[in-house]
Chains A and B, each alone.
Chain A
Amino acid sequence: MTATASFRPDVIVIGGGLHGCSAALHLSMRGVRVLVLEKDHVARHASGVNAGGVRQLGRHVAEVPLSVASMALWHRIRELVDDDCGFESHGQIKVAESEAELETVRARVAELTALGFTHEEVVGQDELRALVPAIADHCVGALVSRGDGAAIPFRTTFAFRRKAISLGARFQEGGAVTRLVRKNNLWTVETADGGVHEAPVVVNAAGAWADRIAAQVGEPVPLEVIAPMLMITARVAPFIRPVVGATGRTLSFKQFPNGTVLIGGGLLGRAVRDENRTELDFSQVSVNARTVWDLFPCMRGATIVRSWAGIEARMPDQIPVIGPSGTEPDLYHSFGFSAHGFQLGPIVGRITADLITGGSTDLPIAPFSIGRFAA
């Protein structure tokens, strides 16, 4: 699976996360020769260790059109990558714990309706209880997106990679890109292990390290490296199908078919990105545990068997950078997914391929321009 000297890629993708793999897949589907360079191994970082939430619910309005388009791809993910990626669609729910919170979610639905989107709806206490019988008594209602769900992150990223390879893409793991230079309409990309690769086009999908690639081409971005934490319980009897979040506090809560329960929701540990390492902050994990204690009384005796954190890029405005570079031609960015980029993986790869092969895309990507950070 290593690139051979005779392989002349049309596009080099930097980063073997879901976004790099998805770009590689969509480009390969159009007959473009792609080489993906990954410093560690595919799915080693955010894309392999995230919560697997496939959620349109509660997205930033700028992301909603992309998220809705991505969801359509998720619902036929097997057609796309020959693997169901463990995707199950039992809906996602954001619980309101007070009348005031319920008011907020009503306003949210009104806003979406005005924009022409109908995937989110408000439900009252009875409907909430029907969807999530285990929810604590004090919860008064919820925001629901019935088409949402969850998938298995590592398996998903691998499926994208496998399908891309079957269509001719090459992957090289274990070589970090250290330098890129463009001369005579050709990019020269050097890796730490001594590799030198050339291609007319480069995609920067380097996740939490993407600012370094951008800086190489004179395009600094205010990327913050964060370490969202997750924990998982020992198996308990199945009791819930949808993924549950909260309106007033951070939570992502879901039970796998094998009974284990994944608990997370954006609380942060510490990332040490130069060492590919994260550290957990148990005072924050404890906050998360208390939320579950409050919302799911049946979980109080559950046993936590493991916790971990992944390294992710967050932009100041919480939405990603997608689209052409502002300083260099033939360079495209796809990073900064701010802890909710898994769901967007399938569509953003398609958008990147649209831009490279056709010069434009039919989805509204103006809000994601890297130009918004230009001084």
Chain B
Amino acid sequence: MSAPNPKFDFDIAVVGSGPAGLAAAALAASKGASVVLLDEQAEPGGQIYRAVTETPVRDRKVLGPDYWHGAELLGPLRDSGAVHWPGTTVWSVARPREDAGDGHRPIQIGLSRNGSAAMLTVRHVILATGALERPFPIPGWTLPGVLGAGAAQVLLKTSGLVPSGATVMAGSGPLLWLLAWQYLQAGARIDAILDTTPKQNWRAALPLLPGFLRSPYLGKGMKLMLDVRRKLTVIGNVTALRAEGDGALKSVVYTRNGTEHRLPADTLLLHQGVIPNLNLANATGCAQRWDGQQRCWRPTTDDWGATSVEGVSLAGDGAGIGGARAAEEAGRLAALDALHRLGRIGREQRDQSAVPVRTALDRALTGRAFLDTLYTPAEAFRVPADDTIVCRCEEITAGAVREAVRLGCSGPNQAKSFLRCGMGPCQGRLCGPTVTEVIAAERGVSPAEVGYYRLRPPVKPITLAELAALPKTAADIDAVFKH
């Protein structure tokens, strides 16, 4: 390795410029730390505030006031002096190595920008990589015309695009309602919403209702749902779903009260909530645990977001789903703790500054347990039947995974070796949660016991050319950031 280039050597790197990353970077830089904010998107904002500075959707009513709150996070970032590199994909965060001589153990970050790769040296990393849509495997979900509701929302936010033709939405969770509402505001055609929320979830969620009734989102959520229900056909208690078509989606078949129905459709938008995007944290070696409530893996953190890996913290939905406002506050806590660890502020100052942040965080999380319980996806949609594809890259079915279990495959990592499941271009980043659940169910043990894929960098594919040209000298590194 070459000598570090001061221009590419920071106290703190923040990965992800959603609410968590924006808040973390702005706070840390405002206290004098040198901070770099990295995000693969061309614009700051993350999922929720995606394209908030650039969106062609100028009518504020379409995306709603929550969306426009994002703009308020950008001023402080600009004023803080943090270096902001949009369009930068982080593909590796290495654990700290030997002492650099100044008492700090530097962390190397591998990144790509404009088709070139480079390594960056920092003393602390805050991963604010947000959430991913939970995989929603149903028969036919690989047909053109079937896509994630979140992916569709990206098109709306960035390009003002809405689906044309007959459109059906299916699934469960607050985001499904939000998106339906945004589409209505945008004048899109939605033929029906197929709600897969299991009836019995209500029984489990009811005791948690009091907390939810105090939630700041209650009013907004209710208004939004009522609005949607008034204007759209909502079909509840859907227990099975299938996409049909020959080369492209033609119809959606659903089961309700034991009877099958068929709806013609050109577009089917699937969604059953979001789960932490822990790919980078996993590949960095951060310990993670199975969250039985949200039915997903989440990295283990303390209440400042610190992980099991020295110098690496997490903030926002990437550490566990809490929503945008919670993400923002968690970003501030992670920043305060990082400043403390770097010796920029004392313990007392950290703790004191955190008091109002924690109050706001608690408030943002109020009612979350109710939503998590109510919207826990049905088993049938997490643990699909034998002929449903679970690994899209390698076209591995749930049945093949079960067969491998019968041959002695005990967890997701062995499933890779047995089946090539999770070995395609996405490297298991998308099928992981489903494979864990299918193996656990087949073995009759908890997902915690079967474990998860050991992910490896690069967490995002990079080209051989980029790797081959990994800059060796300071001048080379400069060149990467010239454009």
Contact = CB atoms under 8 A, between A and B. Distances in A.
Interface of A: 41, 43, 48, 154-155, 233-234, 258, 277, 279-280, 282-283, 285-286, 289-290, 292-293, 299-308
Interface stretch (B129-137, B178-186, B227-235, B460-468): B460-468
B92 interface: yes
A302 B420 CA distance: 20
Nearest to A291: B468
Interface string B408-434: 001000100110100111010000000
A299 B464 contact: yes
B463 A302 contact: yes
Contacts of A299: 464
Nearest to B467: A289
A286 B467 contact: yes
A43 B417 CA distance: 10
B350 interface: no
B470 A286 contact: yes
Q: How large is the interface on B (under 10, 10 to 19, 20 to 34, 35 or more residues)?
A: 20 to 34
A292 B461 contact: no
Q: Considering residues A289, A292, A293, which has the most beta carbons from chain B within 10 angstroms of its beta carbon?
A: A289
A308 B456 contact: yes
B457 A307 contact: yes
Contact of A300 (B1, B423, B462, B465): B465
B456 A303 contact: no
Specify the main secondary structure of chain A where it touches its partner.
Answer: mixed
Contacts of A292: 464, 468
Given A234-B425, A303-B425, A306-B427, A282 B92 contact: yes
A301 B467 contact: no
18 contacts: A41-B414, A43-B417, A154-B418, A233-B464, A234-B461, A258-B420, A280-B92, A280-B94, A282-B92, A282-B457, A283-B470, A289-B467, A289-B468, A293-B468, A300-B468, A303-B425, A303-B462, A304-B467
A300 B464 contact: yes
Given A277-B285, A283-B1, A304-B463, 10 more contacts: A155-B417, A233-B464, A279-B94, A282-B119, A282-B457, A289-B464, A292-B464, A293-B465, A301-B464, A305-B424
Contact of A304 (B119, B285, B464): B464
A304 B458 contact: yes
A371 B393 CA distance: 51
Nearest to A308: B456
Nearest to A232: B423
A279 to B, nearest CB: 6
Contacts of B410: 41
Contact of A302 (B94, B458, B464): B464
A305 B417 contact: no
A285 B92 CA distance: 13
B470 A282 contact: yes
Contacts of A293: 464-465, 468
Given A41-B410, A154-B417, A304-B461, A285 B467 contact: yes
B377 interface: no
Contacts of A285: 467
B110 interface: yes
B468 A280 contact: no
A280 B464 contact: no
A211 to B, nearest CB: 24
B95 interface: yes
Given A154-B417, A277-B285, A279-B95, A305 B468 contact: no
A277 B414 CA distance: 16
Contact of B463 (A283, A303, A307): A303
Contacts of B470: 282-283, 286, 289
Interface string B450-483: 0000001110011111011010000000000000
B468 A306 contact: no
Nearest to A155: B417
A193 to B, nearest CB: 16
Closest 8 CB pairs of A and B: A289-B467, A154-B417, A286-B470, A289-B468, A293-B468, A290-B468, A303-B461, A302-B464
A253 B456 CA distance: 20
Contact of A282 (B110, B418, B464): B110
Contacts of B108: 282
B119 A305 contact: no
B458 A286 contact: no
Contacts of B420: 258
Interface string B90-110: 001011000000000000101
Contacts of B110: 282
Contacts of A307: 456-458
A305 B283 CA distance: 13
B441 to A, nearest CB: 21
B458 A283 contact: no
B417 to A, nearest CB: 4
Contacts of A300: 463-465, 468
Contacts of A303: 425, 461-464
B463 A306 contact: no
A48 B417 contact: yes
Contacts of A308: 456
Contacts of B458: 304-307
A134 to B, nearest CB: 14
Nearest to B1: A283
Contacts of A283: 1, 119, 470
A315 B95 CA distance: 27
A162 to B, nearest CB: 9
A154 B413 CA distance: 11
Q: Considering residues A303, A305, A306, A308, which has the most beta carbons from chain B within 10 angstroms of its beta carbon?
A: A306
Q: Considering residues B95, B108, B427, B467, which has the most beta carbons from chain A within 10 angstroms of its beta carbon?
A: B467
Nearest to A280: B457
B443 to A, nearest CB: 14
